Amino acid sequence: MTVDELASEFDTAWKEALEWFFEPFLAFFFPTVHGGIDWSRGYEFLDKELQQLVPEAATGRGTVDKLAKAWTAAGKEAWVLIHVEVQSNHDAGFAERMYVYNHRLRDKHGRMPVSLAVLGDESGTWRPSEYHAGQWGCEVRFTFPAVKLVDYRGRDAALEADTNPFAAIALAHLKAQETKSNLADRYDWKIRLVKGLFGRGFDKVRMRRLFHVIDWVIKLPKVQRVQFKQEIEEFQKEQKMPLLSPTEELWKEEAEAEGMVKGMAKGVAQGMAEGMAKGVAQGMAEGMAQGMAQGIEAVLDLRFGAEGLALMPRVHQLTDANLLAQFLRSSKTAPDLDTLRSLLPPQPQV
């Protein structure tokens, strides 16, 4: 077992969760903001806008930044800036960074966004909510609402009973931190959280998305992943609700293995005619490529649906295993489809 096997993908999980469950997020953590928005008019994410003004927002490790445009109940356009800090250590520059992001957006657009912070670190005392600077009577004071996930510790029963998706996400985040050194408890909590998704009234899409968030946040070593997959599949049969796929890592491993087996079989057959060694080598390469393509297809389907799957003809143009592996990694972390499109060959002509 390595440290990397248990490294939680907090960045990926929170980024996807905010995109999938934006309204529930505000309802759970910032009900006043949620109540001031006219949700019937929809909302729009403007992450590219934020990244153009603040390039570090696209590359900062340990943070997730989202910018959304919505409408107030009074019919006015409102911008909501959400900055999620998921690193485990204090950041002395956090409050200033919140101010800089807010100020640059206000400078360009003439309106002040509502900046909100969610602090996912493990400290109970680090609670930045204000930036102050100045001297000789010239000063600026910027405050922003902030919530601490550690404040939800000890509320397990309430979070498990809550039908807001972010109750499950907050609990998964906390348990990932609490069980880092206890694999038995870690396994038990992951099973408990996933099984707990059933019976909360979530539709199929929400179930699958929450499952993947939990899967990114609570990592298990290989031997436990196999056991986890078997237990969840048996549980789904009992519930007669086959909604969930295997864990992402295990699914990818199985897809690649299956592709390699098929490719090797094809290679062996070809090798009998053209030379065994050459056929097997070619078959293995084709199998690995097929497995990675299947993994890419699953990620595109999960993150972007039909629009994502429309990229598969271009994905199949990638024949180099290194390029496929690189695109598979990018498909999990890219901020939008346009970014992924830019990494692929042109659309094949029909």
State pLDDT tens for residues 82-131: 877 765 567 888 899 899 989 998 888 888 889 999 999 888 899 999 99
pLDDT tens string 305-341: 778 888 888 888 887 777 888 888 788 777 778 888 8
Q: What is the pLDDT of residue 283?
A: 57
Mean pLDDT of 200-229: 89
Among 75-79, 154-158, 184-188, 192-196, the minimum mean pLDDT is found in 75-79
Instruction: Return all residues near 332 (Cβ < 8 A) that are at least 6 apart.
Output: 12, 299, 303
| pLDDT band per the 50, 70, 90 thresholds, residue 251 | very low
* SS3 state of residue 136: coil
Q: What is the pLDDT of residue 273?
A: 53
Would the pLDDT of 170 be above 80?
A: yes
pLDDT confidence of residue 5: 59
Q: What confidence tier does 39 reach under pLDDT thresholds 50, 70, 90? A: very high
Cα 47 → chain centroid: 15
Determine the pLDDT at residue 333: 72
> What's the average model confidence in pLDDT over 226-241?
86
What is the arithmetic mean of pLDDT over 60-73? 80
Q: Where are the alpha helices (DSSP H) in the chain?
A: 10-20, 22-29, 31-35, 47-53, 94-109, 156-161, 165-178, 183-195, 204-217, 222-239, 248-274, 276-304, 306-309, 312-315, 321-333, 337-341
* Rounded Cα gap, residues 168 and 119, in angstroms: 17
**pLDDT for position 264:** 47
The more confident residue out of 240 and 217 is: 217
For residue 17, give the nearest of 154, 155, 149 by alpha carbon: 149
Can you tell me the mean pLDDT for 153-173? 95
- Lowest pLDDT segment from 23-37, 128-142, 202-216, 310-324: 310-324
